[in-house]
Every structure is written in C-alpha cells, then in structure tokens.
Structure 1
Amino acid sequence: MMKLTNLKIIIPLFFLIFFGSKLLAQDELNQPNLRFYLSEDKSSYAGAVFVNQIWTRYIWNNPDALGNDMGGDFDVAIRRSRAIFYTYLFDKVFMYTMLGSDGHSFKLQGNPAVSLYNAQTEYIFVKEKFHLGFGLTTWNGLSRYNNCKLLEYLVVDNPVFAFPVAGRHDKFGRQLGIYAKGTISKLHYRASVAKPFRYGVNENDQIQKVTERLNSNLALKGYFSWQFLDKEGTLMPYMTMNNLGRQRIFNVGGGFYYHPEAMVQKTVDGIDYPDIFLFAVDAFLDIPLTNGAALTSYLAFNNYNFGENYIRSAGAINVSLANPNSALAQGIGNSEWEVGTGQIIRGEFGYLLPGNGMKNRFQPYGAFSWKNFEALNEASVQFDAGINWLMNSHNLKWTLQYSSRPIYTAVDGNSKWTESKGQFLLQTQIYF
C-alpha cells in the first residue's frame, strides 16, 4: 500500500504537470513550460524544467606513450539528466533548485547518484537592478561561458576550460556563497563572495609540482557586460550561447575569479602559495537576419594563472579501457590538456538557415580553441564543426559534431603538438 508521505509528493506533482500545461506563459519564456500561477495578478508562480541530453559517439583514442595506436571506442552515454524547480513570490523572492545526474557510460559501477546542483534563495530589493542571493549557485565570474545556459549551446557542449576550477574548488561549476546581481541601464553585473570547496594537499605533504592546496580562504568572482542592443532576461542564472535570433543581442563583457593562496608549490627558497587569478574578456552576438535567418557568434580571451607550469588534462565521459600506466602525459582515450597557467582564445560562429518559425530548422556552425599553456613547449589549435537540427527550437534538438583534439608527445625532452585525433558525436536533447 502506498504510504501517505508518498502521496503528499505525487499529488502536487501531478497537479503541477497537468494544470501547468494549461497555464503556459509563452510570451514570457517563448517555450513550453510547466508553470502555474499562485496569485491572480501573476506576481507569484512556480514551475519546473526537465532535460535529457544523450550522447552517441565514436572516439579515436590517444596513442600510448610509445606511439602505439589504441584504436577507437563507440558508446552511448548520458551527458546530463536534470530536473529544475523554481518559485517566484510577490516580486520579492526567487527560489531555484536543480537536481540531476551527469556523465554516465557503460563503465558506471553501481547505481547512478543523484546530485544537488543548485539550491539558492534570492531576495529582490530593487527589481532587475539589485538582487541579493545565497546558497549553492552558478552566479559565476570570469566569462559568459562560465555562466552559460546548458539548454542553449551552439556547439554540443561547453569547453572544459570554461570551468577552470571544476572538480577542484567547485562542484559542477557551483560554489557556496553570497551574490549580488542586476542590470542598470545597459550594464549587467554579477558579483559573488564564495566559500570554495576544500580540495588539494596539505602543505606538509610531499609536493612534486604546483597543485591545489587545502585551504579555507574566500574567493571573489564577478562578471560585467555592456548590452548594446536588447536586454537579456537575468532572473535565471544562465546566459544563452545560441538565442536563434529571438532578440538583437550584442554584449561585450569581462570577468575574473580570485582565490588567494589556493595553490602550493616547492621553490628553491622553500614552499610558496600562489593565488588562483583568472580573468577573461568576451563578446557575444546573436541577431536576426532577413528571411528568418540568424547569426550567432562568440569570441573570448582567457588568461589563467594557477602558479608556475600548472596544467591539467580532462576527457568528457572518458570510456577508454586502456592502461593509464602506459599512457601519454595527457591521459588515455579522449583526454586532452584543458586547463593550465596560460592563455586560451575561443571562437564560435553559427548561421541559422532561412525559414519560418522554429520547427525543422537547420544551423551549421564551427568553433576553434587556441591554447598556449606555460607547461607545454608549443601552442595548439583545435576545431569543432557541426550542425543543429532544431525539430522544435532547443526543446527538441539533434546535434551532429566532429571535434579535433591535439596530441602532445615528448620530442627531445619537450612537449610538442605532433598530431591530432578526433571524435564524432551525435547529441539528442529534449527539454520542456
């Protein structure tokens, strides 16, 4: 027999889904919504968003340290599965919670874990101009990509380097803290004081190279952008990377992330404690053209400083079964050098082909990343090329993409970019 506590959860959720579909605010979000109003003047409402992103891939794996070919891997993986719940009350309070699970492949052992991604409460002191929030949030600094909307990418996914402390001093791009945000005239601002998650080594441990240090220092972060054309909605914490020409957007911004003495390294004089100091400048353009076409582009310069010769590799949902002990320094499978002390330039360009409405539209695109890390002896360039099939805007979308990946090997004692590997990826996205 079903327990009463379960009914208390299921019944309200049923009414949310059933009646929410009859109370859509299409003019507000221009998308299907599960939303219902709590007051006659519509100043209070609650809603939910659900999303699944599934990857089907073929990956040409990195060679091993001796240059032997390691073949390729085919897999189907869950990139993201999320449930988002939000409540807006009397133009005074906004509450936002996200649950979900990411990165599941056939290598998963045990049952998938459900994680808490966001849990924030926001107080609205001056509507649109000054909001103050608390909790586990994604009101980040640094760049537009560091605050991006996962449902509205131009490319398949965000580049890993856009979240440079992910998996270290933050969780899934989130940190606990206090933030202020708002838009005054054409200026949008978001600034935060965060308490980063503890990660790294004790200073008394054996330190071979610069690495993260266990510490309790606060971090400061902020992002500021000038909106030359239309204003973007900023109630939710995320910025679109692909608005499909629904507005005339041209924004130029800059941001930073500063975490003092968050690293540790051995020097000739003893032990040093470098700061993490990251900054970026970027520009985003998304405008409608004639005949229903639209242009989307993004350009960013990122400068990262984690301490001398810091570098870190990553591979999104790496499914390789190769032996890590015989791998290149950058790792097995689809691992690549993603984050380090140095500079990164990122560019993206997409063109929504002419048409009417947002059903069965096609959008070819291309992107590149130039990385110049201090720990490597040569900069590299990689690219993405693909096409979005928008069966129903971003709500029902297919994306096919090919991505290249630089391979670094030791040449006369130096780390050189000697070849590139790649992968084909098909993503299916459904959200409502």
Structure 2
Amino acid sequence: MKKIKLLFFSIFLLSFQFSFSQASPDYNGGFKIKFNEDGSKYLRILSWGQFQATYNDNVPDNTSNLSFNVRRARVLMFSQITKKFLLLTHFGLNSVNSSTLDPVGKGDGAQLFMHDVWGQWSLTDAHAVGAGLHYWNGISRLNNQSTLNLLTLDSNRQSWATIGLSDQFARHLGVYFKGKFGKFKYQVAINDAITNGLDTRTPENGGAAVYGGKRILGSKDAGFAYAGYFEYNILDAESNFLPYKVGTYLGTKTIFNIGAGFFTHPSGSVKATQTGDLIGENVSIFAVDAFYDAPLSDNGSAITAYATFQSNNYGEDYLYSAYGTGNMFYTHVGYLLPGAVEKSRFQPYLSYGSNSYDAVSNNRNIFGAGANLYLSGNNSKLTLEYKNQKFVGDATGTVTLQAMIYL
C-alpha cells in the first residue's frame, strides 16, 4: 500500500504543468567568462545536482522502504587561451545518503574528489592529444555517457564496464588521442590501471579469476590498459569537443550513429591453479552500438533510441557484483510527446538489459519504465522511474523520483 501511495504521489508531481521554455532564456550557454572580445579566451563553468527519493520493496524488516539521496553534485570547468590548448577540471560528490554522511563531513562518502583533470594539445583542427585523469573511454557510447542529459534516470550500470576495477569512477589515468575524418570520429587511450581496485579478493586454488592483476602480479605485467571507441555519424554530426555523450537531444537534431569500441587489459585478472600457481588472464571487452534521435513531425514530438551488444571477458568464470564474463544486451527508447517548446515537455521511456554470465546459469534481467518532465529542457527536469531487477533470487523493484538542475 505504501508503494502504491508513493507511486501515485510521484505521478502527480510529474503530471503538474509548468510554463517554462524548452531551453531557458536565462541560460544562453551557461556561465562563460570571456577574456577577450571574441570569446576565444574563456573559462566555462558548469554545475549540476541530482536529488532522489527512492522506494525499495526489498529491504530488511528494520529498514525503511523510503530513502533520500544526493545522486550527483558536480562542478566542471574548462578553459582555453588559444585553440591549441585546453584544460579541464571536474570534481564533485556521488550518492550521498544517510549511510555515507559523516558527522563533520570527513568520511569517505562525504568527500569531494576529482573526476577529471586533463590537459589537451591540438595537433590540427581535427585531431588532438591529451593526458591526465580523463573520460575518453572505449567500449560504447554509454561508457562515455554524460549525466547532464540522460534519457533514463541513470546510465546502464553494466555499460560502465570497468568502474572501480581498473579506473577511478569510470576515469583512467593516461594519454588519449581523439579526432575526426569527416563524419568518422575516433578516440583511443593508453592508461595506467588502478592498483587498489574494488575487487580485493585473493584467487582461490582452482577457482575463478579475480580482477587484481596489477595488485597481485605487479605493474610490469599488468600495469597498462588500452581502450578505444569509433563511430560514424550517418546524419547530423555530433561534437567531439568533449567526451561526454548526449543521452537525448529532445528532437533538436537528427542523429543516427553506429559505433564500436574495445577495452583490453593484459593480465588484468589473475587465476590460481590447483597447485597455487598464479596465472595472469587478459581482460577484453568489445561492443557495438547504435544511437538514433530525431524529430518525428512539426508538432514537437521526437524519438530517442539506443541499443548495444557487449562481449565481456574478465577472466575465467569471473563474477563480481554486477560484472562478469559473458555477454550483455541493452536497449532503451523514449518518445517526446507533442507540445509547444515554451511549455513543459513530457517524455515516457522504456529500458531493458540482459546480462549472461559464464559462472552461473542465471541471467541478470533489468526492466525499467519511466518518464521525464522537462521544465526547462535538460537544464531542469523531473524523472520518475520504476526499475525491476531479477538475478538468482527474488526480483527487486524500486521507484525513484529525481529532481535535477543543471546550470
């Protein structure tokens, strides 16, 4: 009964109409400090916050079904004094809740940390090289997903396929190259893998692989990881000025992209033989995907659709948290209802993901249904989503209402 009440209350909030423009007239590109008349020397500042209330139907008896969460609180800044150089800094908080708060703000969950900090040097107008803690990832579009303009409540977690295993929150420390040849775009990177990843297990004799090659075998054999993503823009061309991929354009462009990407980490995982000898196993992940976003008519309606297939090899019978050796299929589709751009816009969507693992016979199946209410385009919106996940045991259902502001 409580779940039903929360769902109807959330739907009421999303159904309430506001009169804001599709793109805020006060936004005008956001905060940009110009250091010369034509604006070629500048400092650009972005800030956003996502605030959630979640109802979970599968919790212990002594735990409340309802919880509150600051999903993200971020500040991103980048600047150029000439087109030859760019410096980007991105810091913030993630998933701040009652369990991660600290009495005086010093706990691990309450700390600001660097998400990105990199410098970039232009080789030509179309090609560049950069270095630092960066987000120029491989594998797929969703592994390069921006969190400013998501179609769904959040990105598909399994698409961030190395988060915390070889990187810091989907960012690697390394060198990248990026560029374009007409409508063909590329990005490749050589990265120094994290030593103290989330998988702290010790390989068991004759057991499954453990993602801890650099920690266990050392940096000489397992220090570096390699990644790349390649895409072709069949219709309108997207910008690759920054790595953050757009989730939905709300019908303002006609986009149809196909892409393919990879991630490899030689000896990234370790397996122990029956006699205890340690053997490095190569991690290799490959994906193909397609993205479509286009207006459907002159009445303001639009469609956003995405699909990807991903092959995951983390080592023999690897399974840790949501990640494991096997295959993944994921798709989502959203429909922007007709309406005037000077008023709020409503966009229902569906998502589905299925993950198979070599280590077990059960698939992890995730179904989502939700809707976005755009108060001022992607700069201010409400999202209501129901998600059902089933893996091995009983299914878990959550209802989440999120309010977001992006400046």
TM over 0.5: yes
Instruction: Output the CA distance in 1 between the equivalents of 2:334 and 2:136.
Output: 26
CA–CA separation in structure 1 for the residues paired with 2:175 and 2:294: 34
Q: Determine if contact 2:363/2:391 at 8 Å carries over to the other structure.
A: no
Q: Which amino acid aligns with 2:402?
A: Q
Deviations 1:149-207, CA, capped at 9 Å, x for gaps? 11111000012111122112211100111101111111010000111111368999766
Structure 1 residue 211, shift from structure 2 partner: 0.8
- Conserved? CA contact 2:201–2:210, under 8 Å: no
Does 2:301 align with 1:304? no
Contact map agreement 1:203 1:264 (CA 8 A) in 2:
no
2:112 to 114, 122, 129: 114
The equivalences for 1:164-183 within 5 A come to: 164-183=161-180
- The residue type paired with residue 232 of structure 2 is W
Cα RMSD over matched residues? Answer: 2.2
Equivalents in 2 of 1:202, 1:399: separation in Å? 35
Q: TM-score normalised to the size of structure 1?
A: 0.81
118, 132, 135: which one pairs with 2:132?
135
Tell me how far apart the structure 2 counterparts of residues 258 and 70 of structure 1 sit (CA, whole Å).
Answer: 43
Look up the SS of the partner of 1:146 in the other structure. helix
Distance 1:400 1:177, change over 3 A: same
Match of 1:387 among 371, 392, 401: 371
Give me the whole-angstrom Cα distance separating, in 1, the residues matched to 2:200 and 2:55. 40
Q: Is residue 210 of structure 2 the alignment partner of residue 218 of structure 1?
A: no
- The partner residue of 2:257 within 251, 257, 271 is 251
Aligned length: 366
Matched, 1:347 2:331: yes
The change in CA–CA distance for 1:162 and 1:236 in structure 2 (over 3 A counts) is same
CA distance in 2, matches of 1:153, 1:145: 10
The equivalences for 1:350-389 within 5 A come to 350-357=334-341, 359-389=343-373
Which runs of no fewer than 5 residues in structure 1 stay unpaired?
1-25, 64-68, 314-337, 410-418
Contact 2:286/2:312 (8 A) holds in 1: yes
Structure 1 residue ranges (4+ consecutive) displaced by more than 3 angstroms after TM superposition: 69-72, 200-209
Give 1:73 deviation, angstroms.
Answer: 2.1
Deviations 1:253-301 (A, max 9, x none): 0000001001111234633211110010000000112111111000000
Query: Structure 1 residue 238 and structure 2 residue 244: aligned?
Result: yes
Q: 1:126 aligns with which of 118, 124, 127?
A: 124
Identity %: 31
TM-score normalised to the size of structure 2? 0.85
Distance 2:285 2:307 in 1: 17
Q: CA offset at residue 95 of structure 1?
A: 1.0
Q: Are 1:282 and 2:289 an aligned pair?
A: yes
Query: Structure 2: how far apart are the matches of 1:353 and 1:71?
Result: 38
Match of 2:88 among 96, 107, 115: 96
* Structure 2, gaps ≥5 residues long: 1-22
Asked if structure 2 preserves the Cα contact closer than 8 Å seen for 1:58 and 1:423, the reply is: yes
What CA distance in whole angstroms lies between the structure 2 residues aligned with 1:277 and 1:78? 33
1:50 pairs with 2:47: yes
Shift of 1:90: 1.9
Deviation at 1:92, TM superposition (A): 1.1
For 1:303, give the aligned amino acid: S
Distance 1:109 1:292 in 2: 43
Deviation track 1:281-331 (CA, whole Å, cap 9, x = no partner) reads 000000112111111000000110011111122xxxxxxxxxxxxxxxxxx
2:400 alignment partner in structure 1: 425
